[in-house]
């Protein structure tokens, strides 16, 4: 049995490569001929070793291991599926690099119906040698020029043309239309192209040419075009094999096996780039002295060693080197050479193909040799035929070993006993040398007997496949444009944000004066932030955010100690009768008191009530209207403290001393103010959004006194309810507003806060689905469900530590079956919506801090903002976007954001403590 082992470890690695001139000529001529031909023989064992070594090289490269043994590159393309057969339209295809020194342009029409095919129009242009070796710009200008010439002859008019670029060199692709050349191979060596995006270079050249409007939508390797352009046989065609000037293959790989991709589902087409196999020395045992000589004289010595044994660019040259050697040793042509025989490139692939073909007959071989300036005898002709056959046979066998490596990899990774697969073949070697395919087939059968392979020639030399990929790329590009159009209104520029700041500022002034304004600017009767001398035990309630809480707050010399319990408020209670709601609140307090052993004590109570209230004193607050999800009846227009006291009265057993009612913004400001005396602003970005700040009392109409300060609850959630935000409001905002329990109200809040962002995203996703951009255009029941897309998903999806596949998992849990393109788009939608929210919030904060600075006539203001709210705290980028916007719009204010750690209940207790302290001082 043949042993299988890595070729690289075999004895003979790096076979000596001595210069051609010094090749020894043995005295026995028949021995010399045998020796030459023997060098080209590859044994079954050697083929198996190549197969095994290539397989392990492929697997290492897939696993992301960059080791010297990984000589194949395994480059992922952005092709994720084989054709549907529904692709349609007219496409231009430009092929560069597959077929030596020629460039081919095709006009391909895809009909969208399988079996119905239209012949493409095509034209070939010869690329002059100096262009292949000159500056890159010259090559791309040449291509653009050929395109114009081709199109001039077609009646295409001025339409916008979509082009697929078949570029057959190793490239790192980063998108369907982005591809960086790693290195030139085959006969090309243009300067300034390696490391550049070849799509951009082509676009630039087309632009310079200026004749046609051509959009380069996709770039593909020739192997990919070959695979995609094959009419499916028994099963889908999942391997593309090219043997033309060079050689390579691509195949459909499981995405999870490709380490460089952040993807665990589906398949992706990978270009093996096996031409470079052996560049690390692994081919040592099978390299002949002629291979070494050929490599040394090539444009890229040491590179593409495997390709140089198989590719059509090299077969003729190998034959020439052998014939020249034999002639020089006197075995051929009577020991005579000719200048042509000694010149590089004088024997081409087509010569070898003809000379090797037994049916062509001796006469043809004779003519070819004569054209090379040689005078062959009858035995010479026969020997030359042997040489050609040996070189070609080896090429086909080596190619088979490589293909067998790909097939066995597929068979193992798909865990199939027998792999049934279709391989699309393309390239001139197949066309010109019929024997190549039969040797290849035979050898593959020998090396991979468990694979049942059908070989099908690709249509239109791969041009059709390139058009297929282009069609898909064009569809994706159209989707991207629709996504951008949809999200454009969410992307606010500096001017728009400055306008929001200015409008907010104006509305603040009007609201403070008591003039018509969407900002109510409610006095809170909080005149001072804590001074640290407050002491005592207090009860606090915290109603209106995500959680309803009852707290015991102990303010002592050593600091503040808090014990709290969260109670739920069922939606039926939040939206039931007022009496029911307040009875429920008192029940919770009683429960808390019992659990804490506080029953019977009448501690002072601070009530954080996070809704707009007109306060007439610290312990009086008339609810103006419910916001967020609350809508309990018979409360609006009532004093909330009275409603609470009445409920306490109904529950005869308890006594409570309600001292203060506090908005959550105020509670947050006070809570942070206990630690930092600069904290003069409170900000909430949670279920709802709002801010409060310390205003000069003289600016506050309706409250007596001209000196000192008072905290103003802005109720900025209602900003824009007079229509002033109209220009910024999108159709999605309008839909969210219309479906809410308070249409037309809290318009600013509905663009910013947690209760609404998920809904905005959901409406955008519905729209994109209806455009066919997302979820293949299929509407799901799930996405039609209100509030299914929670705002916390935005925080999760936008988290930097999440890979795209985790984003997909979150969405799939929601019942949204999506591709990675979909996942990326959903992420972009979330980003646009939360970015706008943070920027609008920042514009509001900028208006507030600027007002404080101007009130005080300061050149520069240093101020802290106490912040709370789940969106602000949980979202990965919200806080930094708010801060960045404030820096931009209020450059003369140095603003520090402090996150409240204890919620606004602590603040309510502190307000109560200050009130108690002041009351005691007054009594003394
Ligand atoms: C909490 C406060 O910490 O933040 C609440 O104690 C406030 O009173 C809340 O309403 C705001 O955030 P959310 O996300 O709970 O609405
Ligand atoms: C070379 C190129 C490769 C191409 C092959 C066949 O090996 O590097 O990208 O597919 O030739 O044209
Ligand atoms: C809503 C309320 C407001 C509160 C804010 C944050 O906008 O009307 O009073 O401060 O939500 O919870």
Beta carbon of 545 within 6 Å of any ligand 3 atom: yes
- Return the ligand number nearest the Cα of 690: 3
pLDDT of 11 above 60: no
- Going by the DSSP 8-state scheme, the letter that residue 858 receives in this structure is -
Indicate if 549 belongs to the active site.
Answer: yes
Extract long-range pairs of 561-570: CB within 8 Å, 24+ residues apart.
562/902, 562/905, 562/906, 563/596, 564/903, 564/905, 565/591, 565/592, 565/595, 567/591, 569/543
Model confidence at 813, pLDDT cuts 50, 70, 90, reads confident
Instruction: Supply the pLDDT for residue 15.
Output: 36
Indicate if 610 belongs to the active site.
Answer: yes
Indicate if 379 belongs to the active site.
Answer: no
Segment 155-174 mean pLDDT: 90
Segment 299-320 mean pLDDT: 95
Which positions ≥6 away from 189 have C-beta within 8 Å? Answer: 132, 133, 299, 300
Phi, psi of 511 (to 5 degrees): -60, -40
Q: What's the rounded Cα separation, in Å, for the pair 602 and 550?
A: 15
The pTM of the whole model exceeds 0.85: no
Catalytic residue among 168, 338, 610, 900: 610
Q: In 651-723, where does DSSP find H-type helix? A: 664-673
Bridge partners of 695, per DSSP, are: 710
Q: What is the pLDDT of residues 815-862, one digit of tens each?
A: 877 776 788 899 999 999 999 999 999 999 999 999 999 999 999 999
CA nearest to 834, candidates 803, 792, 805 = 792
Model confidence at 3, pLDDT cuts 50, 70, 90, reads very low
Residue 503 in tokens: 């409008």
Model confidence at 23, pLDDT cuts 50, 70, 90, reads low
Q: What's the rounded Cα separation, in Å, for the pair 127 and 138?
A: 11
Nearest CA to ligand 3 atom 4: 610
Catalytic residue among 197, 291, 380, 664: 664
Share of residues in the chain with pLDDT > 70 (%): 94
Instruction: Supply the pLDDT for residue 338.
Output: 95
Around ligand 1, the residues with Cβ closer than 6 Å are 542, 544-546, 608, 610, 664, 684, 686-687, 754, 868-870, 903-905
Q: What's the rounded Cα separation, in Å, for the pair 470 and 218?
A: 5
Q: What is the pLDDT of residues 323-334, one digit of tens each?
A: 999 999 999 999
Beta carbon of 749 within 6 Å of any ligand 3 atom: yes
CA atoms within 13 A on the CB side of 882: 25
Task: Count the Cβ atoms, other than its own, within 10 Å of residue 163.
Answer: 25
pLDDT of 550 above 80: yes
pLDDT of 2 above 60: no
Instruction: Supply the pLDDT for residue 230.
Output: 83
Instruction: Supply the pLDDT for residue 19.
Output: 39
Instruction: Supply the pLDDT for residue 234.
Output: 61
DSSP string, 231-247: PP-SS-EEEEEEESSSE
Q: In 785-819, where does DSSP find H-type helix? A: 791-797, 804-813
Beta carbon of 682 within 6 Å of any ligand 2 atom: no
**Looking up tokens 């004066």, which residue turns up?**
513
Segment 898-915 mean pLDDT: 88
Ligand 2 centroid–CA 192 distance in Å is: 20
Instruction: Supply the pLDDT for residue 586.
Output: 93
Q: What's the rounded Cα separation, in Å, for the pair 250 and 304?
A: 17
Residue 578 in tokens: 């007022």
Model confidence at 477, pLDDT cuts 50, 70, 90, reads confident
Q: Which atom of ligand 2 is nearest to the CA of 98?
A: 12
Instruction: Supply the pLDDT for residue 430.
Output: 94
Q: Which residue has the higher pLDDT, 574 or 85?
A: 574
Ligand 3 centroid–CA 661 distance in Å is: 14
Extract long-range pairs of 342-350: CB within 8 Å, 24+ residues apart.
344/297, 344/317, 344/320, 345/316, 345/317, 346/320, 346/372, 347/316, 347/317, 347/319, 347/320, 347/323, 347/372, 348/316, 349/312, 349/313, 349/315, 349/316, 349/428, 349/429, 349/432, 350/432
Q: What's the rounded Cα separation, in Å, for the pair 685 and 664?
A: 11
CA nearest to 447, candidates 410, 398, 413, 412 = 398
Phi, psi of 110 (to 5 degrees): -100, 130
- Going by the DSSP 8-state scheme, the letter that residue 667 receives in this structure is H
Ligand 3 centroid–CA 793 distance in Å is: 22
Q: What is the pLDDT of residues 453-469, one digit of tens each?
A: 999 998 777 888 999 89
Beta carbon of 753 within 6 Å of any ligand 3 atom: no
Segment 550-560 mean pLDDT: 89
Instruction: Supply the pLDDT for residue 499.
Output: 97
Catalytic residue among 320, 549, 808, 853: 549
Residue 796 in tokens: 């999760």
Segment 289-313 mean pLDDT: 95
pLDDT of 396 above 90: yes
Which positions ≥6 away from 856 have C-beta within 8 Å? Answer: none
CA nearest to 310, candidates 320, 302, 318, 301 = 318
CA nearest to 522, candidates 722, 714, 705 = 714
Bridge partners of 639, per DSSP, are: 622
Mean pLDDT, the chain, as a whole number? 90
Residue 870 in tokens: 């789940």
Ligand 1 centroid–CA 884 distance in Å is: 23
Nearest CA to ligand 1 atom 6: 903
Segment 374-399 mean pLDDT: 94
Instruction: Supply the pLDDT for residue 833.
Output: 98
Nearest CA to ligand 1 atom 7: 545
Beta carbon of 737 within 6 Å of any ligand 3 atom: no
Model confidence at 12, pLDDT cuts 50, 70, 90, reads very low
Ligand 1 centroid–CA 381 distance in Å is: 94
Query: Measured in whole angstroms, how far is the alpha carbon of residue 828 from the centre of its chain?
Result: 9
pLDDT of 787 above 70: yes
The pick from 72, 221, 305, 402 for probing ligand 2's pocket by mutation, whose C-beta has the most ligand atoms within 8 angstroms, reads: 221
Q: What is the pLDDT of residues 718-773, one digit of tens each?
A: 999 999 999 999 999 999 999 999 999 999 999 999 999 999 999 999 999 999 89
Instruction: Supply the pLDDT for residue 24.
Output: 66
Q: What's the rounded Cα separation, in Å, for the pair 673 and 665?
A: 12
Q: Which residue has the higher pLDDT, 809 or 142?
A: 142
pLDDT of 922 above 70: no
Instruction: Supply the pLDDT for residue 903.
Output: 81
Rg (Cα) of the chain, in Å, rounded?
39
Contact 295, 323 (CB under 8 A): no
Q: What's the rounded Cα separation, in Å, for the pair 774 and 765?
A: 7
Tell me how far apart the terminal alpha carbons of the chain are, to the nearest angstrom: 108
Q: What is the pLDDT of residues 874-891, one digit of tens each?
A: 999 999 999 999 999 999
Contact 893, 886 (CB under 8 A): yes
The pick from 169, 188, 276 for probing ligand 2's pocket by mutation, whose C-beta has the most ligand atoms within 8 angstroms, reads: 169
Model confidence at 916, pLDDT cuts 50, 70, 90, reads confident
Q: What is the pLDDT of residues 437-453, one digit of tens each?
A: 999 999 999 999 999 99
pLDDT of 590 above 50: yes
Which positions ≥6 away from 262 have C-beta within 8 Å? Answer: 803, 804, 805
Segment 42-64 mean pLDDT: 94
């Amino acid at each position: 049995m043949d042993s299988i082992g890595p070729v690289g470890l075999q004895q003979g690695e790096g076979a000596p490569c001595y210069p051609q001139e010094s090749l020894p000529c043995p005295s026995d001529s028949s021995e010399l001929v045998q020796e030459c031909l023997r060098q080209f023989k590859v044994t079954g064992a050697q083929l198996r070793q190549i197969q095994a070594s290539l397989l392990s090289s492929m697997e290492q490269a897939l696993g992301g291991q960059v080791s010297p043994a990984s000589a194949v590159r395994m480059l992922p393309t952005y092709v994720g599926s084989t054709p549907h057969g529904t692709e349609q339209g007219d496409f231009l295809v430009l092929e560069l690099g597959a077929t030596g020194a020629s460039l081919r342009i095709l006009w391909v029409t895809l009909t969208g119906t399988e079996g119905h095919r239209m012949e493409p129009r095509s034209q070939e242009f010869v690329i002059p040698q100096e262009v292949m070796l000159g500056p890159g710009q010259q090559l791309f200008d040449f291509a653009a020029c050929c395109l114009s010439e081709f199109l001039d002859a077609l009646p295409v008019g001025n339409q916008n043309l979509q082009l697929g670029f078949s570029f057959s060199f190793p490239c790192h692709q980063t998108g369907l239309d982005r591809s960086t050349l790693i290195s030139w191979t085959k006969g090309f060596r243009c300067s300034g192209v390696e490391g550049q995006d070849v799509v951009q270079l082509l676009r630039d050249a087309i632009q310079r040419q200026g004749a046609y409007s051509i959009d380069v939508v996709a770039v593909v390797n020739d192997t990919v075009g070959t695979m995609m352009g094959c009419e499916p046989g028994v099963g889908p065609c999942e391997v593309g094999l090219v043997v033309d000037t060079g050689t390579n293959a691509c195949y459909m790989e499981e995405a999870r096996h490709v380490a460089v991709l952040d993807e665990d589902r589906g398949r992706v087409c990978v270009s093996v780039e096996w031409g470079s196999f052996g560049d690390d020395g692994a081919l040592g045992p099978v390299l002949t002295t002629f291979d070494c000589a050929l490599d040394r004289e090539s444009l890229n010595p040491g590179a593409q060693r495997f390709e140089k044994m198989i590719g059509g660019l090299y077969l003729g040259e190998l034959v020439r080197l052998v014939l020249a050697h034999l002639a020089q040793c006197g075995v051929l042509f009577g020991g005579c050479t000719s200048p042509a025989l000694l010149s590089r490139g004088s024997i081409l692939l087509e010569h070898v193909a003809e000379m090797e073909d037994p049916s062509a007959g001796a006469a043809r071989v004779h003519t070819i040799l004569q054209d090379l300036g040689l005078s062959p005898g009858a035995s010479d002709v026969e020997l030359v035929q042997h040489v050609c056959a040996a070189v070609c046979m080896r090429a086909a066998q080596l190619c088979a070993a490589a293909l067998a490596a790909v097939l066995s990899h597929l068979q193992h990774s798909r865990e199939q006993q027998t792999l049934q697969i279709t391989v699309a073949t393309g390239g001139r070697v197949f066309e010109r040398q019929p024997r190549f395919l039969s040797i290849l087939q035979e050898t593959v059968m020998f090396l991979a007997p468990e694979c049942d392979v059908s070989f099908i020639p690709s249509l239109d030399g791969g041009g059709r496949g390139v058009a297929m990929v282009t069609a898909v790329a064009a569809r994706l590009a159209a989707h991207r444009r629709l996504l951008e159009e949809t999200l454009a209104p969410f992307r606010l520029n500096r001017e728009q944000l400055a306008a929001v700041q200015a409008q907010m500022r104006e509305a603040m002034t009007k609201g403070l004066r008591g003039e018509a304004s969407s900002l109510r600017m409610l006095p809170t009767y909080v005149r001072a932030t804590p001074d640290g001398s407050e002491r005592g035990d207090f009860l606090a309630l915290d109603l209106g955010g995500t959680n309803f809480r009852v707290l015991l707050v102990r303010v002592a010399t050593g600091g503040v100690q808090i014990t709290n319990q969260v109670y739920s408020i069922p939606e039926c209670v939040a939206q039931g009768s007022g009496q029911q709601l307040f009875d429920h609140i008192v029940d919770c307090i009683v429960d808390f008191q019992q659990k804490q052993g506080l029953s019977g004590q009448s501690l002072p109570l601070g009530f954080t009530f996070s809704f707009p209230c007109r306060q007439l004193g610290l312990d009086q607050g008339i609810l103006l209207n419910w916001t967020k999800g609350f809508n309990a009846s018979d409360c609006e227009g009532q004093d909330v403290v009275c409603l609470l006291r009445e409920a306490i009265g109904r529950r005869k057993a308890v006594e409570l001393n309600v001292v203060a009612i506090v908005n959550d913004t105020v509670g947050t400001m006070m809570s942070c103010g206990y630690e930092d005396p600069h904290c003069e602003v409170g900000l909430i970005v949670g279920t709802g959004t709002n801010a409060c700040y310390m205003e000069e009392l003289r600016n506050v109409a309706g409250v007596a006194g001209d000196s000192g300060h008072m905290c103003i609850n802005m109720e900025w959630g209602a900003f824009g309810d007079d229509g002033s935000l109209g220009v910024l409001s999108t159709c999605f905002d309008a839909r969210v507003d219309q479906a809410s329990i308070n249409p037309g109200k809290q318009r600013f809040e509905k663009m910013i806060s947690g209760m609404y962002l998920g809904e905005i995203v959901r409406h955008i996703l519905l729209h994109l689905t209806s455009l066919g951009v997302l979820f293949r255009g299929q509407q799901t029941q799930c996405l039609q469900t209100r509030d299914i897309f929670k705002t916390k998903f935005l925080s999760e999806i936008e988290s930097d530590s999440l890979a795209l596949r985790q984003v997909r998992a979150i969405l799939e849990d929601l019942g949204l079956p999506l591709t990675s393109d979909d996942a990326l788009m959903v992420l972009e939608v979330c980003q646009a919506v939360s970015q706008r929210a943070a920027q609008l919030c920042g514009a509001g904060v900028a208006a507030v801090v600027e007002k404080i600075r101007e009130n005080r006539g300061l050149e520069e203001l240093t101020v802290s903002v106490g912040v709370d709210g789940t969106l602000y705290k949980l979202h990965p980028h919200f806080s930094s976007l708010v801060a960045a916007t404030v820096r931009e719009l209020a450059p003369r204010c140095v603003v520090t954001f402090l996150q409240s750690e204890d919620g606004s209940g602590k603040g309510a207790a502190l307000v109560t403590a200050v009130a108690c302290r002041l009351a005691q001082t007054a009594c003394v």
